[in-house]
């Protein structure tokens, strides 16, 4: 029997890679898509991966429980991946209520739709290393206490605990992946790795001179989105639902990540990077470093792409894109 998966956030970075992975495993893939006045561009990531015409997209919104109920009833999925969110930390200070409505309450909406319309389905919640925030332990594992430092992280914490609560209250097969930063050529251009790879490509092609950044001393544990969506799928193949940290176990400053990108294009970072206080955050997460030993032992998960290789892939993809479509 063909397995059916329902993804929220299918038009985002992880949604696109997860759709590709599930299709390669023979799944029927359905995705929730928001109504937009400029139809035709929102599935660009699915098109980039060559899977746009292989998935079924259904109109809905995480803020609208009635649409989610209708979709879950119609699709009858065996697996549900809740990836949709207002996912940009910096925006969450400017839009805290929207962030709470989507990134927090949206999870409860999705869990309710699942509990009512597909209680046997396995459920994945996209939790985040941002929940650790103000760091309490040098390496963060499933046992590390949380201390969120942004409206985004506070909302994610609600999403995380409501998922645990639905598992414990209603017996849902609901798992939460506490994923550390993961990137790719499909990363939104507002996030720092892609902002850097895009700027490096523009500078290389003579279309820009400088790159304005905020706190380049911040440290992140960066992996590749392709590896991380595999961990999501692995979690839902377990008999028992659980929570897992997914990370590489290596932390790097924004400065050093940047240096890798400029060096790959044969450019001198110091000549182009300008520090701009506009990109500093009201409260910062200074360092993240994940301990994924549980995922390694229980799921057999291992990251396959290192930071250098990933950043090089992102810079090459941006150079290629900008050379092909000069105005984009």
Q: Answer with the entry of ligand NDP, ligand GDR, none that 61 interacts with (C-beta below 5 to 8 A by kind).
A: ligand NDP
Task: Show the binding pattern over residues 234-263: x = contacts ligand GDR (CB under 6 A), - = does not.
Answer: --------------------x---------
Catalytic residue chosen out of the listed positions 92, 127, 128, 197: 128
Q: Which does 89 bind (CB under 5 to 8 A by kind): ligand GDR, ligand NDP, none?
A: ligand GDR
Alpha-carbon distance of 273 to 256, in angstroms, equals: 12
Residue 245's closest CA among 301, 184, 186? 301
Told to check if 96 binds ligand GDR by CB under 6 A, we report no
Cβ-contact 210, 272 below 8 angstroms:
yes
Residues 203-232, mask of contacts with ligand GDR (x by CB under 6 A)? ----------xxxx-x-x------------
Q: Of these residues, 27, 87, 92, 130, which one is catalytic?
A: 130
Backbone angles phi, psi at 266, to 5 degrees: 70, 30
DSSP secondary structure of 89-106: TTHHHHSHHHHIIIIIIH
Active site residue 112: no
Q: Tell me the chain's radius of gyration from C-alpha atoms.
A: 19
Binding residue for ligand GDR, selected from 130, 198, 243, 318, defined by CB under 6 A? 130
Measured over all CA atoms, what is the biggest interatomic distance in the chain, rounded to whole angstroms?
58
Report whether 57 contacts 31 (CB < 8 A).
yes
Catalytic residue among 27, 124, 152, 228: 152
Could you confirm whether 152 is annotated as catalytic?
yes
Q: Known catalytic residue: 87?
A: no
Contact 308, 260 (CB under 8 A): yes
Task: Give the closest residue to 246 by CA, choosing from 196, 175, 312, 154.
Answer: 175
Using CB under 6 A, which residues numbered 141 to 180 contact ligand NDP?
Answer: 179
Binding site for ligand GDR (CB under 6 A): 87, 89-90, 128-130, 180-181, 190-192, 195, 213-216, 218, 220, 254, 279, 281, 284-285
The residues assigned a catalytic role are 128, 130, 152
């Amino acid at each position: 029997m063909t397995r059916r998966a329902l993804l929220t956030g299918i038009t985002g970075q992880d949604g696109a890679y997860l759709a590709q992975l599930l299709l390669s495993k023979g799944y029927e893939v359905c995705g929730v898509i928001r109504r937009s006045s400029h139809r035709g561009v929102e599935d660009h990531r699915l098109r980039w991966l060559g899977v746009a015409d292989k998935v079924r997209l259904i109109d809905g919104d995480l803020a609208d429980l009635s649409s989610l109920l209708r979709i879950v009833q119609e699709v009858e999925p065996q697996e549900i991946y809740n990836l949709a969110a207002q996912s940009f930390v910096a925006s969450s200070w400017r839009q805290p209520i929207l962030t709470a409505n989507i990134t927090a309450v949206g999870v409860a909406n999705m869990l309710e739709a699942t509990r009512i319309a597909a209680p046997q389905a396995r459920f994945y919640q996209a939790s985040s290393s941002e929940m650790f925030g103000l760091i309490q332990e040098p390496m963060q594992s499933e046992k590390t206490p949380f201390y969120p430092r942004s409206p985004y992280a506070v909302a994610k914490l609600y999403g995380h605990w409501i998922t645990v609560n639905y598992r414990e209250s209603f017996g849902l097969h609901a798992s939460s992946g506490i994923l550390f930063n993961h990137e790719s050529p499909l990363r939104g251009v507002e996030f720092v790795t892609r902002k850097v790879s895009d700027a490096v490509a523009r500078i290389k092609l003579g279309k820009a001179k400088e790159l304005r950044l905020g706190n380049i001393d911040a440290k992140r544990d960066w992996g590749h989105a392709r590896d991380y969506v595999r961990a999501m799928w692995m979690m839902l193949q377990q008999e028992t639902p659980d929570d897992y940290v997914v990370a590489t176990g290596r932390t790097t400053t924004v400065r050093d990540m940047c240096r890798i990108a400029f060096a790959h294009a044969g450019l001198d970072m110091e000549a182009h990077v300008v520090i701009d206080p506009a990109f500093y955050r009201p409260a910062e997460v200074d360092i993240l470093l994940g301990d994924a030993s549980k995922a390694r032992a229980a799921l057999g998960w291992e990251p396959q792409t290192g930071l250098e290789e990933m950043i090089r892939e992102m810079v090459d993809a941006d150079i290629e894109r900008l050379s092909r479509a000069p105005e984009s």
